[in-house]
Chains A and B, each alone.
Chain A
Amino acid sequence: MTEPKPTADEPTDGALIAQWRSGDQRAATLLVERHATPLARFVAGLGERREVEEVVQDTFVRAFASLDGFRGESSLRTWLFTIARNLVRDRARGRKGARDVVSIEEWHAATEHDALDAAVADETEAQMRRAVETLTPMQREVFTLRVTEGMSYKEIAAVVSSTEGAARVHYHNAMRAIKEFLDD
């Protein structure tokens, strides 16, 4: 998914942040509406199976708690994804025996999305999900952010605490691994 871009009638993230800082609580609702779904998709894609909404909520609460100190050097979206990624990693570390790879059945159960039923029914797309499961956690993060969220390498590097060059390498390695999986 590309970055949720506000239409001409919609205020930008920066404008909504300014409104929030001045005490307008509706700005929070608009920002959550804009970014919650991509965050949920990203969190689920990283393997958080059962508590996607909780992670997304924690992400927003933490972000808004320190929004006064947000200087806008990175986009709000990048910042939110960085927080979400760290939360998922913290939870994974906190769980004993946590697995890095989520099976397609678990992912399906976690999403509970009607559209997913149709998607999983398609064997080709199911194969693609399995291909993503074979990636390393870093490759998976980079590939998801690049292909699903449409982030630039610069944004990805900010989210995964790496460099643009490293993000590019991870992406191409992930793409090669997926092609090999699908060719087999």
Chain B
Amino acid sequence: MTDCPRGDMRDLLPDLVHEQLDAATRAEVARHVASCAACAEELELLRSMRRALSPAPHVDVGRIAEAVVASRVAARDVPNVRRLAVRAAPRADRRMAWRIAAAFVIAAAGASGWVLVRGRPGTPTRPVATAPSHVDSVTAPPTVVAAQPHSPRRSQAVTAAPAQPKMLASTGLVMDGGVKDLSDGDVRMLLQSLDSLSTVPDADPAPMSYQVDDGGVQ
């Protein structure tokens, strides 16, 4: 097959097949085709190609239309459901939510304050009650060395040998003197016991307290 040199005419052949040309153009193209064997052959080829390629697979138009409508309904319903869910929250629930949030804020503020006060350098360590002076030192509970600030990993209470207590005149209780009051041997033993710990607790131990009355420690 040869190609016609009139590209403008060849361009219009598919439109002639599909009857998309106005009357004047159609007449012009028809005249050219009548006098051009190449275009006549190409026109016949186009008609045959159209016939060969035209059969279309069957599609269920009704089902497709239903899917289109269903998708529109779904698209409209989703935002409606979301709006309803927001509006349906009862006032009492919202009030409770505010209370819970406020409680969290108060608790967080309290905890932060406690941590700040406790972690400030120079803050006196918490006094721990020990046995009164008249209690026999052998039977007395061990003195607790108070947790030192800025020792996060080893801030747990450590049992130590009883030291010489300081008397508080007003209460009759004694305040322990801390590590500095320990003897060299006691400090060495304390350090060894620290080194021998296999695990280090994450939190401080619960404070030990004793009720002290005239009858002794309970």
Contacts and interface: CB of A to CB of B under 8 A. Distances in A.
Interface range, A side? 35 or more
6 contacts: A2-B19, A36-B59, A60-B65, A111-B55, A126-B52, A147-B17
B137 interface: no
A4 to B, nearest CB: 12
Contacts of A110: 57
B1 interface: yes
B55, B57, B59, most chain A CB atoms within 10 A: B57
A40 B57 contact: yes
Interface in B41-84: 42, 45-46, 48-65, 67-69, 71-72, 75
A128 B68 contact: no
A53 interface: yes
B48 A125 contact: yes
Interface in A34-72: 36-38, 40-41, 43-45, 52-53, 56-57, 60-61, 64-65
Contacts of B52: 119, 122, 124-126, 128-129
Given A2-B20, A40-B59, A44-B56, A60 B64 contact: yes
Given A2-B20, A172-B10, A112 B48 contact: no
A116 B18 contact: no
A112 B46 CA distance: 24
A40 B15 contact: no
B1 A179 contact: yes
B181 interface: no
A176 B38 CA distance: 12
A53 B57 contact: yes
Contact of A65 (B15, B17, B46, B71): B71
Would you call the interface of chain B mostly helix, strand, loop, or mixed? helix
B54 A148 contact: yes
B3, B48, B58, B68, most chain A CB atoms within 10 A: B68
B76 to A, nearest CB: 10
Nearest to B2: A179
A144 B65 contact: no
Interface stretch (A7-15, A25-33, A86-94, A95-103): A25-33
B15 to A, nearest CB: 7
Contacts of B55: 41, 111, 113, 115-116, 119
Nearest to B15: A150
